[in-house]
Amino acid sequence: MGFFEKIKQGLSKTKKNIGNLFPVFRGVDEEFYEELEERMILADVGMETTERTVEELRRRVKEQKLREAEEVHEAFKDILTEMLEVGDSSLQIGTRPSIILVIGVNGVGKTTTIGKLANQLSEAGKRVMLCAADTFRAAAADQLEIWANRAGVELVRQHEGADPAAVVYDGVSAARARGVDVLICDTAGRLHNKANLMSELGKISRVIDRELPDCDKEVLLVLDGTTGQNGLLQAKQFKEIAGVTGIVLTKLDGTAKGGIVIAVADALQIPVKYIGVGEGIDDLMPFQARDFVEALI
């Protein structure tokens, strides 16, 4: 199965939830724009982004004198693609070591995403190590260990209740000593409005900055695609505390309406880097704006 086919298959449910974003075309009149707006909002694109998109479409239709369904459809897809292109969607992990910190609220798919990502990077020839900085429950490190074994990569862990920043410190030392290319740190799920947990995240960030000042760092915020607009609120707060460099949107194989991807990229101006389309080790796709729009619409 080709890459495009695979995204399409992964997103097939999401696509069904959205229905057809583009209304039945009877010409570009007010009714058309209204229906388009309505469909976008139902697809979780969000009010602000929807309005901006439709406004831009009106402008292009007028300026380029677009009339045919196909022309308008193409212009619409172009606008969505441009909205999704808000920065480099590939991982910046050129240095040895480089580090990826994975954060987000409870149950969004952080640990699973790390397992999938470790497998991809390892298959691409990188030496990968996982760091179990979710010390909140013993089971969390066990879960990460299972993924490390599946992906065939190394793992650093400590006892339950250990200081997460200290585990990250250990991870960095081990990664350096063993010549690891990429250290991926799992963290405990936390609510974005819980101040003490958020400050713990700040502490982890500071350890990373201090220990690896000249290394490439990614902070990936994992958002559950099925939670809709609430994801935006979470992202704003995580961005402030930990300087998010990329978004991973998970569970797009389920009841998610894919419009949230567009809303997040547009509202936060943070690139979406991966999308999760299932629970299996291969169900993580590098994000490409054009392919995504084509697969979805």
Q: Which residues bind ligand GTP (CB under 6 A)?
A: 104, 106-112, 134, 140, 189, 250-251, 253-254, 276-279, 283
Shortest approach of ligand GTP to residue 94 CB, angstroms?
Answer: 27
Binding partner selected for residue 253 from ligand GTP, Mg ion, none, CB under the kind-specific 5 to 8 Å limit? ligand GTP
Binding partner selected for residue 49 from Mg ion, ligand GTP, none, CB under the kind-specific 5 to 8 Å limit? none
User: Quick check: helix, strand or coil at residue 196?
Assistant: helix
**DSSP assignment of 200-243, as one string?**
HHHHHHHHHHHH-TTS-EEEEEEEEGGGTTHHHHHHHHHHHHH-
Count other C-beta atoms under 10 Å from residue 214's C-beta: 5
- Rounded to whole angstroms, the Cα distance separating 12 from 134 reads 33
Shortest approach of Mg ion to residue 42 CB, angstroms?
Answer: 31
Nearer to ligand GTP, 42 or 281 (CB): 281
Nearer to ligand GTP, 50 or 89 (CB): 89
Phi-psi group of 251: left, alpha or beta (phi > 0 → left; psi -120 to 50 → alpha; rest → beta): left
Binding partner selected for residue 183 from Mg ion, ligand GTP, none, CB under the kind-specific 5 to 8 Å limit? none
- Name the maximum alpha-carbon separation found in the chain: 66
Shortest approach of ligand GTP to residue 262 CB, angstroms?
Answer: 18
Instruction: Spell out, one character per residue from 105 to 134, where the chain touches Mg ion: x when CB under 5 A holds, - when not.
Output: -----xx-----------------------
- Rounded to whole angstroms, the Cα distance separating 276 from 2 reads 17
Nearer to ligand GTP, 89 or 250 (CB): 250
